[in-house]
Structure 1
Amino acid sequence: MTNHSSEPSCCLFCERATTVIPVAEQGTCIAFPDKYPVTEGHLLIIPKRHAPDYFSLTAEEKKDADALLHRLKDDILQKDPSVTGFNIGINNGYDAGQTVFHCHIHLIPRRKGDCENPRGGVRGVIPGKRGY
């Protein structure tokens, strides 16, 4: 059962925020590996506080998440020279594909040749709309 509300009861990421050892931490936010990674090194950045989506983050949480994204990007590039790009993604709301209703930002390392034609990137969330 998925919790579509803004209540933290049974929130998978609220639980994770208190039980997982984060890969990195920045003030109000932590990062940890995605349980179902799209590519090697796929990370999630979440606020420690329960916030159902990106639009419910405070200014401080947005600032900390952004700083963490930059730091993790630099770490990944330093450790893995095969990474040549990144997708950064946030699903907001059930109809946008959000399945865990605690804000989480995907940082997905990309490598040359990891898909046939990467043109359009995140536009691919709607079939047939990636190419333009």
Structure 2
Amino acid sequence: MQTNSTCPFCTLPPERIVVSNLHGLVIRDGFPVSPGHTLVIPRRHIASFFELNQLELQAILALLDEAKRRLDRECAPAGYNIGINDGPAAGQTVPHLHIHLIPRYVGDQSDPRGGVRWVIPDKAKYWP
């Protein structure tokens, strides 16, 4: 499996891993934006979601489901944002694919409408 010795996701200490399978792993975000903020990461060092092969895609989506079930039990959020920063223009700072699973809680924002659309604030609010 392709890894990179300078990549923070290729060199994770085992105690950071919440759950894993053959093709991926789940960790808590080191800089969480909400309680329970979680990352789902492929084991193979790739930068883009679109580089996943079908086996990896299935494995990563299974881990996303498992991470959500665990967060439902542990944190009982009211909703989730799921996001990927794919490429530097999209804000990707670690060039190893990772999916953010961000638990959301009633009242964590005064008006959560628009969700992920707020990555471009001038375009986020499309309702009257």
TM-score (norm 2): 0.90
Q: Match of 2:104, as an amino acid?
A: R
What is aligned with 1:108?
Answer: 102
Moved >6 Å (runs of 4+): none
* Cα displacement string for residues 76-115 of structure 1 (whole angstroms, at most 9, x for unaligned residues): 112223x110000001100100000000000000001100
> How far does residue 61 in structure 1 lie from its aligned partner after superposition?
1.1
**Which consecutive unaligned segments of at least 5 residues does structure 1 have?**
1-6
Aligned pairs, how many? Answer: 123
Does the 8 Å CA contact 2:20/2:26 hold for their aligned counterparts?
yes
Equivalent in 14, 39, 48 of residue 10 of structure 2? 14
What is aligned with 1:47?
Answer: 42
Partners of 1:95 and 1:34 in 2: how far apart?
A: 21
CA RMSD of aligned residues (A): 1.4
> How far does residue 51 in structure 1 lie from its aligned partner after superposition?
0.9
> How far does residue 20 in structure 1 lie from its aligned partner after superposition?
3.2
Q: Match of 1:108, as an amino acid?
A: I
Partners of 2:22 and 2:86 in 1: how far apart?
A: 23
Equivalent in 63, 83, 89 of residue 83 of structure 2? 89
Task: Give the 3-state SS of the residue equivalent to 1:124 in structure 2.
Answer: helix
Partners of 2:30 and 2:73 in 1: how far apart?
A: 23
Identity %: 45
Q: Match of 1:104, as an amino acid?
A: H
**Which consecutive unaligned segments of at least 5 residues does structure 2 have?**
none
> How far does residue 27 in structure 1 lie from its aligned partner after superposition?
2.4
Partners of 1:20 and 1:127 in 2: how far apart?
A: 38
Does the 8 Å CA contact 2:27/2:38 hold for their aligned counterparts?
yes
TM-score (norm 1): 0.87
Q: Match of 2:22, as an amino acid?
A: G
Task: Give the 3-state SS of the residue equivalent to 1:23 in structure 2.
Answer: strand
Partners of 2:73 and 2:11 in 1: how far apart?
A: 31
